[in-house]
Structure 1
């Protein structure tokens, strides 16, 4: 329970706008949970409610079975990065962290430890106003780690990072989860979440659309789709459609086959002496799953904005 986030039937309105409409999900320890949805879906609001920055109109958000506001020395329970720019620009990176550490009764030694973890040793005494967005992200991660919390909530931590920084962040988050922490990460970079998250919560219009392991979402999108390359397209279409497949053109010599596994496609073509150069099972991506799951939410938002 100590490192679990439990969101139950959260509701929140801002005037006539519904931000959260009965949202429920759980973030468990031991893996990274991706938190994704279109702009305006309610991600930021949900994270702010979890962290006690906004009060819900209904429902609960608990960390280790308790609301954030009841936690003493909260940085020792949950670390958060919501805005990499939320710092005093005239302070050095180390002084920024010292200020936060003193507020929680943490030591300067702990500050130096997280500076090392976040790869900030060379710039620790530089003023933060000279930092790139990527370096501010690292500083935000260092601040989130100060209290060695069992729960981490990070909003768009990949933004502003160069390729080396993205690889670092991906491995760093995986390492934190491997230590038994609950890690909730909001991001628009689906490729990074696919390589990092073990579980994904997809939201739209303030509601949970999907709450599943990444491999389950990808399996649902793939649906036995197969890429076939052949110079005998007409013959292949006839043979495969007779077997119940749906076949669509994807290029001059390429077909997309749905409804048959790659093994069955090979067997069917071979049995009818239809030549082919490639048969490969479709590898679905998290971006495909996301686009398919959130299509209605995006269309709803566009229709609403047009009506205004």
Structure 2
């Protein structure tokens, strides 16, 4: 089966609320694709449509070229984590996975493999209702991996994880993609996606705002921005603004200069005898690049998903 998720022209309304307005993108194998956007942008609805939980008004969503509802033993095709709390709290972690495995024709051996993979083997016989959010996230990821699928779709998998858990899931997601799987991860934590994802699908108002490599997005947001440290911030701001640059104060002795290359900043300050201790090209964070891109992509009024 081809390891892809294809979303084409999805439109979806809930009453008078527009959730999806022509959502279109493809998740390719061999990389982690981040799926990001403001609350109400349509991320959860899109993932539910991919899994056949919501029916679109228009368009289609395919996993490996096929609708989810046509898949026999779907866990062998796509593994998903949409809600870490979707479990029977009285069941043990192992029993939770055993009934899923039984429904897909999988044996107990695979259950023990994924429990070890997510670090839950020591608590496998504890009731899942007593698990922390981080442990429930690990159990949900184990369920998603149960059928060894070529496609994975995870909604906010970093939530509730401690620092060790975040380091673990970063490595896990990258290794799964390196095996040739298509991995789609929805998250509000840009710092985690910056260290994990190679590609980004940014959505807003129910449609795609950008479909781009993470490195390209950061490079575009970093262009012609310079970090300047100076003991005379007022003089530096006056000189640079007078030459047409846009200058913003960052810290007590730090300015961020836009619209002027680092070399030009150095020459201009030197010509006006303005002291400085550092001039360096600014590298935007993914969070900065994302906020710049989605400035106008606010959520739909009344959006519920």
**TM-score scaled by structure 1?**
0.92
Task: Name the structure 1 match of 2:255.
Answer: 255
More helix by share: 1
Q: Which blocks of at least 5 consecutive residues in structure 1 are unaligned?
A: none
CA apart distance, 1:262: 2.2
Distance 1:253 1:177 in 2: 43
Matched residue SS, 2:296: helix
Matched residue SS, 2:111: helix
Distance 2:254 2:129 in 1: 53
CA apart distance, 1:137: 0.4
Aligned residues: 302
Matched residue SS, 1:297: coil
Task: Name the structure 1 match of 2:125.
Answer: 125
Matched residue SS, 2:26: strand
Task: Name the structure 2 match of 1:181.
Answer: 181
CA change 1:122–1:212 in 2 (3 A) is same
CA apart distance, 1:55: 0.8
Task: Name the structure 1 match of 2:169.
Answer: 169
1:151-186 Cα distance to aligned partner (Å, 9 max, x none): 000001111111111111111111111111100001
Distance 1:163 1:152 in 2: 23
Matched residue SS, 2:221: helix
Distance 2:233 2:294 in 1: 34
Distance 1:138 1:234 in 2: 52
1:253-292 → structure 2 map (5 Å cutoff): 253-270=253-270, 273-292=273-292
CA apart distance, 1:255: 2.4
Task: Name the structure 2 match of 1:97.
Answer: 97
**TM-score scaled by structure 2?**
0.93
Matched residue SS, 1:201: strand
Task: Name the structure 1 match of 2:109.
Answer: 109
Query: Does residue 72 of structure 1 match 2:72?
Result: yes
Matched residue SS, 1:161: coil
Task: Name the structure 2 match of 1:211.
Answer: 211
CA apart distance, 1:237: 4.3
1:22-55 Cα distance to aligned partner (Å, 9 max, x none): 0000100111111111111111100000011111
Task: Name the structure 1 match of 2:31.
Answer: 31
Distance 2:180 2:147 in 1: 15
Distance 2:179 2:273 in 1: 54
Distance 2:126 2:251 in 1: 54
Task: Name the structure 1 match of 2:21.
Answer: 21
Q: Which blocks of at least 5 consecutive residues in structure 2 are unaligned?
A: none
Matched residue SS, 1:264: helix
CA apart distance, 1:273: 4.6
Aligned-residue CA RMSD (Å)? 1.8
Q: Which has the higher contact order (CA 8 A, sep 6+)?
A: 2
Task: Name the structure 2 match of 1:44.
Answer: 44
CA change 1:250–1:191 in 2 (3 A) is closer
